[in-house]
Amino acid sequence: MKNYDKYKVGYFMPPEDCYDWVKKDHIEKAPYWCSVDLRDGNQALIVPMSLDEKLEFFKYLVSLGFKEIEVGFPAASDTEYEFLRALIDNDLIPDDVTVQVLTQSREHIIDKTFKALEGVKNAVVHLYNSTSKAQREQVFRKERQEIIDIATFGATLVKKYAAKYPQSNFRFEYSPESFTGTEIDFAEEICNAVIDIWEPTPENKVIINLPATVQMSSPHVYASQVEYMSKHLHNRENVIISLHPHNDRGTGVADAELGLLAGGDRIEGTLFGNGERTGNCDIVTLALNMFSHGVDPGLNFENILDVVEKYQKFTDMEVPMRAPYGGQLVFAAFSGSHQDAISKGMKYREDTGEHQWTCPYLPIDPHDIGREYEADVIRINSQSGKGGVAYILEHNFGFDIPKAMREEVGYMIKGISDRNHKELSPREIYNIFEKEYINDFDIIDITDATFRKMSTYKANDGMIVDMHVDIDGEVFEITAAGNGRLNAINNALKKTPYRFDYTLVSYSEHALETSSSANAAAYICIAGRDGQQYWGVGTHSDIILASVNALVSALNRKNKVKHFIK
């Protein structure tokens, strides 16, 4: 690519080593969550939400467990002003939920912001001004001290106006906007100047928000910047460090995770990462990543498909099919080796009663977020293998096909998928399996078989069969003996004018745990004179007749390939 040399590092490393976060292997507790779906997320929509949609979305965010929700910039937009007033006037904000509003460092804006908040029980007033080197030089044409003066002027006014509304519980938040492009010593200086004005206490802590307004570095740099700030902020024990990662480099979640390890206490983000440009931190992904490490995220995503549905309804945006946790195909395994490992992992879990989740290829149990194994985990296309097909047939329809049969069935199913260039549903898979293997009476049809034990002492396990068989339209009534049911059937068939040259390779049976009236299944493999093997499956309410049907199905499959000789 051309022109790569016009780009250079635009971020600033801390003046000292800040790598304590590297020593931590995972996040140990959930942060304070603040949803910015209704402000940051909404401003990124092609068609912003209506007042009614915002009210409905607010209620839904509350139901998910959010205790802090940014509702807008009331002084800058009549729609956002009306939305905030509707929440307050209609008493729609639960006592344990705090709304957050944004304001610039201008007195008329701060004045209108507090008027919009009149009567609110709990609110965060979020003051910001841009601090980056690029903004100072190119946009504002101001020196460092002039930028600090803007922040301290606003901080003083916010404190002054809040005192006029003693009935409300106000907390203050400050963002050095474009923090990631700000010299770290300057970010420290301006944040501490604001903290000193607000004088936080244990009962009324201050929020210092460190936004990755534009991602300019790899996540480890952001983490080191956060750690430096955490170590150098005044009155740190009474300061909540908030993180607001955007996603320009595609690492919004990584920035958030490493930032929390580095001292962050709070996350601002949106469901599925909606926001300006490439979006915000994806709170669904971040929260469920914690969940996968045994940490209660404090948000309720037990029905993730409902979250997806509501998000798409409110935003008119789509959750990508492979988006973590919520995507339609995120738990889908098309690869044969993956399907086999998942199937065996689930079987191991059933057999051992293991509580800890260790199933291969699945970071969490799909059931824990309202997903289903059968619908989500095993998906069959031309890339699938024997394990996936076997899993579908067993878990959806009760057929535990023998291991020796799985390869043949798997290749047949994936071949059909390949030729048709489509994914096969569980029902389509079963229909193909049934048509090919189950109760095939096309050429040979044993219409009746009655068994009785042989009475000779030399063969006390022997059986005699009285059998009616229709072969290619000819009906025969035959009695034959054998050392078991199938051997008796074999011997009876050989008494017909047709030459049945095959040997029995394997036989198995099991009860069917489905709603089908056929509650037993039998599997038989026979081999022809050339060694070619043929499988048949029989079902019947009587396991003896199920085995007869399996043998007949195997014979018919053999004879459709190479017709028997009369």
Tokens of 184: 């770290």
DSSP character string of 436-470 = HHBS--SSEEEEEEEEEE---GGGTT-EEEEEEEE
Distance, in Å, from the CA atom of 357 to the CA atom of 349, rounded to the nearest integer, reads 8
- Cα–chain center distance at 423: 20
For a pLDDT cut of 70, what percent of the chain falls above it? 94
Whether the CB-CB separation of 259 and 272 falls below 8 Å is answered with no
Task: From residue 323, give the alpha-carbon distance in Å to each of 52, 282, 304.
Answer: 28, 10, 12
What's the rounded mean pLDDT across residues 331-338?
76
| Cβ count near 525 (within 10 Å) | 20
Distance, in Å, from the CA atom of 160 to the CA atom of 35, rounded to the nearest integer, reads 27
Give the model's confidence band at 454: pLDDT under 50 very low, under 70 low, under 90 confident, else very high. Answer: confident
Give the model's confidence band at 517: pLDDT under 50 very low, under 70 low, under 90 confident, else very high. Answer: low
pTM: 0.77
Specify the pLDDT at position 458. Answer: 55
Q: What is the pLDDT of residues 93-103, one digit of tens each?
A: 999 999 999 99
> 562 in helix, strand or coil?
coil
According to DSSP, the β-strands at 520-528 and 533-539 are antiparallel
Distance, in Å, from the CA atom of 378 to the CA atom of 381, rounded to the nearest integer, reads 10
Tokens of 17: 């080593």
Whether the CB-CB separation of 58 and 310 falls below 8 Å is answered with no
Q: What is the pLDDT of residues 390-399, one digit of tens each?
A: 888 888 889 9
Specify the pLDDT at position 383. Answer: 63
Give the model's confidence band at 462: pLDDT under 50 very low, under 70 low, under 90 confident, else very high. Answer: confident
For the chain, give the mean pLDDT.
91
Terminal Cα distance for the chain, rounded? 74
Which residue spans of the chain are classified as CATH 3.30.160.270?
444-561
For residue 50, how many C-alpha atoms fall within 13 Å in the half-sphere facing its CB?
3
Query: For the structural domain made of 444-561, what CATH number should be given?
Result: 3.30.160.270
Whether the CB-CB separation of 528 and 534 falls below 8 Å is answered with yes
What's the rounded mean pLDDT across residues 419-445?
89
According to DSSP, the β-strands at 68-72 and 169-177 are unpaired
Strand-pairing partners, residue 522, are 509, 538
Is the pLDDT at 375 greater than 60, yes or no?
A: no
Q: What is the pLDDT of residues 146-201, one digit of tens each?
A: 999 999 999 999 999 999 999 999 999 999 999 999 999 999 999 999 999 999 99
> CA 423, 426, 430, 431 torsion: positive or negative?
negative
Whether the CB-CB separation of 151 and 105 falls below 8 Å is answered with yes
DSSP H stretches of helix in 107-178: 107-116, 133-135, 144-162
Tokens of 18: 């800040």
Specify the pLDDT at position 565. Answer: 47
Instruction: Identify the CATH homologous superfamily for domain 29-295.
Output: Aldolase class I (3.20.20.70)
Is the pLDDT at 376 greater than 60, yes or no?
A: no
Specify the pLDDT at position 490. Answer: 86
Which residue spans of the chain are classified as CATH 3.20.20.70?
29-295
Specify the pLDDT at position 213. Answer: 94
Residue 176: which of 143, 144, 209 has the closest Cα? 209
Q: What is the pLDDT of residues 8-65, one digit of tens each?
A: 888 999 999 999 999 999 999 999 999 999 999 999 998 999 999 999 999 999 999 9
Distance, in Å, from the CA atom of 305 to the CA atom of 408, rounded to the nearest integer, reads 35
What's the rounded mean pLDDT across residues 364-389?
72
Q: What is the pLDDT of residues 264-310, one digit of tens each?
A: 999 999 999 999 899 999 999 999 999 999 999 999 999 999 999 99
Distance, in Å, from the CA atom of 36 to the CA atom of 4, rounded to the nearest integer, reads 34
**Would you put residue 260 in left (φ > 0), alpha (ψ -120 to 50) or beta?**
alpha
According to DSSP, the β-strands at 206-212 and 239-245 are parallel
DSSP character string of 293-357 = TT---SS--TTHHHHHHHHHHHH-----TTSTTTSTTTT-B-SHHHHHHHHHHHHHHHHHT--S-
